Every structure is written in structure tokens, then in C-alpha cells.
Amino acid sequence: MSEVEFLKVCNVCKSFGEGDSRQEVLRGMDFTVAKGEFCVLLGPSGSGKSTLLNIIGGIDSADDGYISIAGDKLRDMDEKTLTRYRRKHLGYVFQLYNLIPNLNVKENIEVGAYLSDKPLDIDELLNTLGLWEHRYKLPNQLSGGQQQRTSIGRAIVKNPDILLCDEPTGALDYNTSKEILKLIEDVNRKYGNTIIMVTHNNAISDMADHTIKLRDGKVRKNITNDNKISAVDLDW
Amino acid sequence: MATNIKKSEGTAYVPGAVSSKRKVGNPLRKRLFREMKKDWKKYFVLFLLMVFMIGLASGIDVGNDSMMAAIDESYEKYSIENGHFELHSKPTPELLKEIESEGITVYEQFYKDLSESRKAPIEKTEDDKDVTVRIFKIRTEVNRACLMKGAMPQKAGEIAIDKNHADANGIKVGDTLYIGEEAFTVSGLISSSDYTTLFRKNSDFMFNAIDFDIAVVTPEAWESLPSSIFYQYAFMYNEAPATDSEQKEKADALMEKLAVLSATGGFTDEKETAEELKNKIQSQDPETMQILSEKAGSINELTDFVPEYANQAIHFAPEDMGSDKAMMSVLAYVFIGVLAFIFAITTSNTITSESAVIGTLRATGYTRGEILRHYMLVPIIVTLLASAAGNAVGYTIFKDAAVSLYYNSYSLVTYETRWNMDAFLTTTILPMLLMMLINFIVIYRKLRLSPLRFLRKDLRSSKRKKAMRLPSWSFLKRFRLRILFDNMGGYLVLFVGIAFVMLMLAFSIGLPETLDHYKGQMDENLISNYQYVLKGYKDEEGNVIATSEESAEKYSVTSLETIGGAHKGEEISVYGYENQSQYIRIGEALSGNEVWISSPYQKKFMLKVGDTITLKEKYEDKSYDFVIRGIYDYDGALCVFLPQENFNKTFGLDADAFTGFLSNNAISDIDYENIYTVVTLEEVMSIATQLDHSMGGMMDMVAWVCLVMAILMMYLLTKIIIEKNSTSISMVKVLGYENKEINSLYILLTSLVVIVSAIATAALAILGLAGVFRLYMNSLNGWFDVYISPMGIAKMILILVVSYAIVAIFDMMRIKKIPLSEALKNVE
């Protein structure tokens, strides 16, 4: 397996419902993502990007086709192996943070650290995330941006190979969104994680190494960005 | 924009640095204390309920086992008999020698039954009822007494009486008691090792510590007591039987031999030889008549034979204590099961509200097992703490309460509290396993869903895609129905919890009512106030005994026992009544073996008119068949009634023979030496009196406990239901509903559920009570029905509804407190 094919999406199909209500969400997706790459899955609502992210994350399964990571096909893994795969290799960031309400910032990050044999240094990470001063606050005492930083911290503290981000800025304002994107960019640069981000914001593709444009469950464009810009320079 | 890469005090940031610290502990554990603190009221109530139930079970278990150990040890410590027998008259030394040749050693324990009163005869009024005291000489060889307080009698005029009887009647050491007409000072309080339960006769329906007493005096004082002597002997086997079955075989054989020996004056112990002897007597065989004249002085009659294993006075207390323990354990497990479901529903609701977090954790790599263990920890911790606290109060407060309850009912020896491994297991490990099992099943089922379902907050287990169609009722009615379906789990547990409380209420209200009803029935349809049993119907001179008491009427009575079936060996009183009897009013003319039976006999044995019953002599193989012609409404005992004439024919008695007199007034003109015993109303009602004394006070306490339990349990469940619906409640508030309208949705619905559950479970509880009572009655010699009045049922339902009314106030306050923002913050 070449470095270019770290993540391979091969003819992935997925549909929901039965009979008349059957809806094909993914209609044979094919693309690859290289290790350490920042890849954006871009598309409008209903294009299948979140479903694809969930299949890559092993929390949903394809009806047809497969996804392989570092040569291992997810469809060959049983539930236990999939859990282990997520535990060792994946970090998740969601639009709505999903923090544990009665754990403080530091403890929420420890939730991720617990899963790793060699977690990143939490105090340093808190500094990286700009949360050092807020480390003892509960989620309901934080702004949306601070909550999302905490959720990113929880995802990357175990230093995952792949960081999956599902509309991480979907619930945030413009400035905070840019802060979060910058943070993700820094994480990608410093820790070398492969990042796959789902978004419907076209502008974000400018900071990605690689953009997959989706529509109606198919890859419409697979663009390699040779002139990517920093998140601070993004505008929309 | 800054990425906010800051340096902490003295910590240099190194990109990609890996922690040098050891693996991070599970941070989810840090939530547990906060979770409990946040919802401390709920967990505290659950904790309290569990402590109470575990404490009660542990207290009864420990008290019971400590007491049982003391009872077991008392066999050796106080030399409890292997059995005893009673003869009609004092046996000759020759007869005793023959009896001892049957492989037993006998010990004389003659007794006298006298009246006992705290008032001097001159001070007594008609309302002062006497109690019967059975007086022995101080026994030094077998069946020794345990001195509980004071001293054993040292001289004439001193008496030591049963402690349980003394407590029940408020008699203390130093008090004066009148035995017959003679004054005695109570020198001490004792527990007789062969009378831990005060049964006057082994066949009695129920013991009676209030109207019956056991006492000891010095031999000199005993000799001077003016009363008939009962010639009872305790015996010990020279070779103790090794097994229970051997014990029974040995006792049966001994009883038969003693009956034959005493009837033949020691001539033979073989039944067949005795039959031959009887035939020879009938044919006036000269040789036999010679033998008979030699043995005439030794001829006697075995009037009672009770092997130790069948002696209710020895075994009733430990057996009853054993069944208390079993019943308490079952109640504790049922209740802990209910609490486990409450925990499971609480956890299930928490999982629902935290579904996105759980989805994230699962997506991040947390296993289902890790999350399952996390959510099971709170119930486990609370159960562990409750088990520890429950055992602590069980070993102290509840154990003392249980023991004092036993001392209140039985005359038990002193005991020492013992560490009890079984109690620990049954009150710690089993509740823990029950809690773990129920929570595991519920939580595991909930967590079976995929991470994606959790992330989407789609946790419905139903595959129904559309909402259930409801009838075209008003909007509010349909809304309430939706709430009901949505919270079905909670309402089902509420139903089970209410059923549990109603069962306890049925006991606390039904038992005293049953006893009162029984007393009332007995007052109304008692055969007579006094039943005199004579030693024989002729006096020493051969004159038929008569009385001038106008209300007196001759009657006969004998005891037979049932054969076969579940109640084998149950004693049945067979009455013979005079024609036109004023006491036993059976208008129908009965011929041959036709009889009426008492209603309890009919109910216990499920008999009907036309059935044939077979009863046998207690100490012989002779049996009698009777055909039932009617049911006589008399609750006092299991009886058979037949005309006097048929009675004498059936039992081969003289045509003018009778047993004694039925009378509404006391008979004063018959010499006490001719009277074997007198059965009074108090004795017939002793079961009700004793049960009332043993449990009456406790039943009031149980009713209060039920009230508190009902309040706490409904508080918990309705709290859970309201918390689960807090977003919806907040949303309808946002929409402009007023609190009273919301109350009409949630509180009214719960009120309806409570009322319907109370009515439905009242019926179930009464059926349960009747079932338990039937089991209890089956274990006794006798029968009476459970009775609970419509007022009693109304009281049960009212207690529950009042409990909920109190809870509803808290619920209304809780609904009022739900903020409008609740709906907004939970909407994505």
C-alpha cells in the first residue's frame, strides 16, 4: 500500500429505507486520502457526506464497496475489532460538541486520553487549545468555541491517525469558526494526523490539501489543492 | 486570530509531546460522585429504602439465627426430653418398670393445673378472668428451666412463673399471685426449655401466653396445692435414634407399646397378645381372669403421648421463626427488585438524555462494556453503601426489635448475638446480585443500539414508524395517553411498587380485622361459655355425676385424627349432643354414621355434604367412617357433631355415658377431683388473643411503614417521570400553557394511574393475603378465614391515595420549577 492510499474509499454504496421510501444516499464513491492529508468532504445537505464520514468512522456500514485504512478493510472487522479500531486510530469532532456536562474541561479531555496508552500531555494540550484558564470549568460555563476546542482536545489527546470532523464550525459564528479551523490546521501540522472534515462551507476547501465534492451520493470533483491558504486567511 | 497557544506556568510547550505520566485513569468515574450529588435526593431516598429493607431482613436473620443457636444448645444445656406421655392415673412401680424396659428412662413430671390471679379471691369480680397455670415441682433432671430474672423458689409461698406470660400480663418479680386461693410471691421469671411456646395441649390450635402459664414451686408447696394431679412422665431413649425417620419409627412403636402396656397393666406390649387377652376375658377364661386380677391394680390408660419432634411447645417457636425469616427475605428481595427497576429506569432516562455523549464516546472507541460498567456503578455503589448501613442497623436496632418481637411471643432462653455469614450473604451479596442483574439487563438492552443511533438520539426500541393512532378524543386526553405510553416503563414499576405496598397494607389492616371478626363470630356462635370435661361420668362410688346448674347440658367429646392427605394427623373434636340441645342446634335427625361438621373443617379440608370422612383413634389403629349431612356454623375448631346416642354406639360406650357438661354459667357443685378440665371462651379464642398480642402492635407499625414507603417510592417514580418529561413540560410552558394546565396533564394522569393501580392491586393484595393466610392456617391445628371489610379495603386505597396527594404537592412544585430555557437548550 502506498502512502497515497492510506485511506481508500472504494465503490461505497449506502441506502436507507425500503420499497418506495428507499433512498440511495451513496451511489458508488471512490477516492483515496494520503496519510497526514487535510481532506475536506464538501457538499450540500443530503449529498451523503455525513453518512460517508460515519462509514469511515466505523459507526455505520456500507451496503456495497469497502473502506480500507492502512490496508485493513473495515467490512472485514467485527464489532469488537471496529471498536478497537476507533479506539486506537480515530478521533471524532461533532458539530454539537457532545461534551459530558458534569465533567470539567480537563476531565473531558481525559475522557479521550484514557483510551490511549500514550496520550499527549494534557496540560500542554490545554495550552495549545487556549483552555488552560478554563480547565476547571464545566461545559455549561463555556462559550460555543471553547466547547468545540474542548471537543477537539478530547479527540486529539489520544493522538489519532485520523481526525474526523463533522461540521465542526456548523454551530459557531464567523470568528469563532476561523479560530477552530486554525486550531485544526495547527493540529494537522503539528501532530501529522490525517484530517477528514465534512462541511458545506466552500471556503474551507481553500485550506485543505484535498477536496472531495459530493452531490447526490456521488463524487463530483476530486481536487488536489496546491495553493492552500491558512485558516486565518479564509473568508466567506 | 490567535490559536491561543499559551504557556502554562513553568511548562514549555512542545509540539507533539507525549505525556510521561502513566496511563490516565477512567475519567468517567469522576462523574459518579457528581452524579450522586446532583441527584442526591433521589439516591438518598433509594438508599434509605434499601437500608430499611436490608436492615429489617438482616435484623430478623441475625436475631433469628442467634436465637436458633441458643435453642439448639438448650437441648443439652437444659436436658430437653425425647418425649413425654401421660397416664390416666398414677402408675404402679411394676407398670413403670415394664415401661422402662421399652428402652427408655422415664422422669416424673407430674403437674397440676390451677387458676392464677393477681387478685385475692375475695377481691375478684365477675369481670376478672382467671388464667390457667400449670405447676410443676422444680425439675432438676430433664426439661430444666432457664432462670431469666430473680431466683428459683426456695420455700413454700414462692413461685417462679413463665417470663413471657409475666411480661404479657405485667407481672414482676416480687408480685403476689393467687394460685387457687393461696397467695404466692413471684420469686423469679423462667423460660421452661420444653415450653418455649405456651401450648396447653399439643393439639391446641394456638399457644396462649396470656391465659396460660407454666410455673415451678418447691416439692412441698406442690404437694399442698389443692388440684388434680396429671401423671406425666418425660422420657429419654437409652439409645438415641440416629435419623429423623428412625426417630419417628421409634416414637410410633413406643406409643403403641405404651398404650398396650398401660391397658394391660404391664401384661404385654404386643397388640396381638392384648387382643387375645381381650377375647379370653370375654369368654371368662379362668387362667386369664386370674392374671387379670393380679394385674388389676396396674391397669391404666395412656391419655397423651408426645414425642419431642412433634411437640408444638418445643418446636412451634423455632419453626415460626424460620418461616418469618423466609418471608422477610422474600419481601426484601421483592422490594429490592422494585428498587432495582427504579434504578434501572433512572439510568435508562440518564442514558436517553446523554445519548449524544454516549454516541460520541462509542464513536471515539469506548466499548459498550465500559459504558455499561460506568452506568452500573451508581446503583452498585448505592446498594453497597445501603448494604453496609443496613447490616449495621440490622445487627443493632433491627436485631433487637426482632428479638424483642420473639420474646413478646415466645418464652425463649437467653441468647448471644452471633456473626451470621448467611445473613451477610442474603442481605449484601444477593441484593447486590439482584441489583446488578436487573440493571445489567435494562442497561445492556438500552446500550445495544449502534453509536450512530445514540448520536442521532434515536433510542426508541419500537420499530413502529408512525405514532399510534388514538381515538378522536379531546386533545388533552390524547396528550395524556401519549404521556402514558411514553412513560410506560415508569408506570409499570409504579404499579408493581403499589402492589407491594398494598400487600403490606393488606396484612397490616387485614390481620387485625380478621382477628376481630373471628372474635365477634366466636362471641356470637360459641357452643357454650364453659365446656366441662369430667374424669368419668360416674364418681368413685359409681354414682352418675350431676349438677343443679340450670344451663348445664350433658354432652360427649372425644378426639380423633385425620388420616392421609396434606393434613394427616390433624386433631378433630367429635361431639355428641343431646336431643333438642340448646347448645348444638342441629334440627335434622341423623342416623348411623351421619354427622354434621364445623365450617372450618369443611373449609380447610374442602369437604362438601355427601362426602365420607374417615377419622382414626390417636393411639390405636381403629378408624371410623362418617357421612357428612350438613355444615355447622361454628368457627371454634375442626369438629364433627353427631347425636349422643349415636356417639355412644359408635365408640362402644354405655348408653348413659357422657363426657361432661356444656354450660353458660360456671358449675360450682361438682368436686374438682371429678373434673378433668374446663374449656372456656377465652381458651377457644386464645388464637385470636395470642395473635393480637404478638402482632397487633406491629401491624399499626407496618401500616405507618407502608405509608412512608408508599410516599418515598411514589416520590421517586414520579420524580423520574417528570424529569424525563422536563423538556416537553418546558416546551408547553414556552407555548403558553399555565402550570395548572400542565398539572392537569401530568399530575392528573399519574393520579389516575395511582388510583387505578390502587384499586387493581387491592384485589391482588387481598388474594395474596388470603393465600399466605391459607398457608399459615394449613400449618396450624385449626382454621379460620381471612376477613377484610369493605371499610378496610377503602382504608388501604385511601392510605395510598393520601400518600400520593402528599407526593403530588412535591410534583407540582417540581413542575413549577422547570425553567422555560430547558426546552430551548435541548433543541438542536
Does residue A26 form part of some domain? yes
Residue A32: CATH number of its domain: 3.40.50.300
Q: What is the pLDDT of residue B332?
A: 80
Alpha helices, DSSP H, located in B626-738: 644-650, 681-684, 686-724, 726-734
Given this model, what pLDDT does residue B223 score? 92
Look at residue B321 in the predicted model and tell me its pLDDT.
79
- For residue range B106-122, list pLDDT tens digits in order: 999 999 999 898 888 77
SS3 at position B628: strand
In total, how many domains does chain A have? 1
The pLDDT confidence band at residue B159, using thresholds 50, 70 and 90, is very high
Could you tell me which residue, B735 or B376, shows the higher pLDDT?
B376
Q: In chain B, which among 684-703 make CB contacts under 8 A with chain A?
A: none
Beta bridge partners of B112: B135
Instruction: Give me the pLDDT at residue B727, please.
Output: 82
Among candidate residues A153, A46, A161, the one with its CA nearest the CA of residue A97 = A153
**Does A236 map to a domain?**
no
Q: Chain A neighbours among B 367-396 (CB < 8 Å)?
A: 367-368
Q: What is the pLDDT of residue B642?
A: 95
Question: Which residue of B360, B368, B449 is the best one to mutate when testing the A interface, meaning the one whose CB has the most A CBs within 10 A?
Answer: B360
Touching check for A152 and chain B: CB below 8 Å?
Answer: no
Residue contact A91–B364, C-beta within 8 A: yes
**Per-residue pLDDT for B2 more than 50?**
no
Decide if B690 contacts B204 (C-beta within 8 A).
Answer: no
Where b means 16+ CB within 10 Å and e means fewer, B355-368 reads bbbbbbbbbbbbbb
Higher pLDDT, B433 or B1: B433
- The partner residue sitting opposite A127, judged by closest CB among B13, B366, B367, is B13
Q: Where are the beta strands (DSSP E) in B447-529?
A: none
Let me know the angle formed at the C-alpha of B230 by B253 and B172, rounded to the nearest 5 degrees. Answer: 120
Over chain A, what is the mean pLDDT? 88
Residue B355 · residue B109 · CB < 8 Å: no
**Separation CA B197–CA B71 (nearest Å):** 12
B24 with A107: Cβ contact below 8 A: no
CA dihedral B213, B214, B216, B220 (to 10 degrees): 70
Rounded Cα–Cα distance for residues A47 and A43 (Å): 6
pLDDT at B10: 34
Residue B7's pLDDT is: 33
Packed helices A105-113 and A144-156: angle between N→C axes, nearest 10 degrees: 20
Share of chain B above pLDDT 90, in %: 32
The larger pLDDT score, comparing residue B21 to residue A108, is at A108
* B-chain residues near A83 (CB < 8 A): 362, 365-368
- pLDDT value of residue B112: 93
Is the Cβ of A114 closer than 8 Å to some Cβ of chain B? yes
- What is the percent of chain B with per-residue pLDDT over 70, rounded to a whole number? 92
What is the torsional sign of CA B602, B604, B605, B607? positive
**Measured distance CA(B627)–CA(B394) in Å, rounded:** 54
Note the pLDDT tens digit of each residue in B175-217.
999 998 889 999 999 998 899 988 888 877 678 888 899 999 9
Quick one: CA dihedral B536, B537, B542, B548, positive or negative? positive
Q: What is the band of B65 on the pLDDT scale with cuts at 50, 70, 90?
A: confident
Band (A232; pLDDT cuts 50, 70, 90): confident
Nearest to B360 among A98, A103, A118 (CB): A98
Mean per-residue pLDDT, B353-373: 90
Report whether pLDDT(B12) > 50. no
B286 and chain A in contact, CB less than 8 A: no
Report, as an integer, the average pLDDT of B736-744: 84
pLDDT at residue number B598? 92
CB < 8 Å to B366, chain A = 83, 87, 115
Closest Cα in chain A, distance from residue B454 (Å):
10
State the sign of the Cα–Cα–Cα–Cα dihedral A170, A172, A178, A183. Answer: negative
Per the structure, the complete domain to which residue A55 belongs is given by 3-231
Average pLDDT for chain B:
84
pLDDT band at B6 (very low <50, low <70, confident <90, very high): very low
Closest Cβ opposite residue B363 in set A92, A124, A149: A92
B chain contacts of residue A103, beta-carbon cutoff 8 Å: 27-28, 30-31, 34
Q: What type of residue sits at position A192?
A: G
Which is higher by pLDDT, B406 or B661?
B661
pLDDT number for residue B15: 40
Supply the ipTM of this predicted assembly.
0.77
Going by C-alpha positions, the residue among B107, B50, B324 that lies closest to residue B235 is: B107
**Region A86-91 average pLDDT:** 87
What domains, with CATH codes, occur in chain B? 37-77+318-462 (no CATH), 89-108+236-300 (no CATH), 111-229 (no CATH), 471-526+683-828 (no CATH), 546-669 (2.40.40)
Picking from B823, B754, B761, B730, the residue whose alpha carbon sits closest to that of residue B484 is: B754
pLDDT in the model for residue A204: 92
User: Mean per-residue pLDDT for B300-305?
Assistant: 87
Residues 6+ apart with CB under 8 A from B89: B231, B300, B301
Interface of A with B in 29-68 (CB under 8 A): 54, 57, 59-60
Distance, CA of B518 to CA of B636 (rounded, Å): 9
Q: Do A100 and B366 touch (CB under 8 A)?
A: no
Tell me which of A126-130, B94-98, B697-701, B704-708 is least confident. Answer: B697-701
Q: List the 26-85 stretch of B: residues with Cβ below 8 A of A.
A: 26-28, 30-31, 34-35, 38
Contacts of A99 in chain B (CB under 8 A): 357
Q: Find the residue in B nearest to A55 (Cα).
A: B452
pLDDT greater than 90 at residue A163: yes
For residue range B682-723, what is the model confidence (pLDDT) as tens digits? 666 666 676 676 666 667 777 787 788 888 888 888 888 888
CB contact under 8 A, B4 and A159: no
pLDDT tens for residues B524-535?
667 888 888 887
Q: Is the pLDDT of residue B8 over 50?
A: no
CA distance A222 to chain B (A): 27
Answer whether residue A72 is part of any domain. Answer: yes
Write down how long chain A is.
Answer: 236
Q: Which of B23, B359, B450 sits opposite A117 (nearest CB)?
A: B23
* Grid cell listed for B524: 356470637
Top residue of A104, A118, A121 to mutate, by most chain B CBs within 10 Å, is A121
Tell me if A11 is assigned to some domain.
Answer: yes
- The reply to whether A233 touches chain B by the CB within 8 Å rule is no
Question: Higher pLDDT residue, B573 or B461?
Answer: B573
Scan residues 148-207 of B and list those with Cβ closer than 8 Å to A.
none
pLDDT value at residue B271: 76
A190-230 per-position pLDDT tens digit:
888 999 999 989 899 999 999 999 988 899 999 998 888 98
pLDDT digits (tens, 9 = 90+) for B572-619: 889 999 988 999 988 888 988 999 999 889 988 889 999 999 998 876
| CA distance linking residue B605 with residue B599, whole number of Å | 10
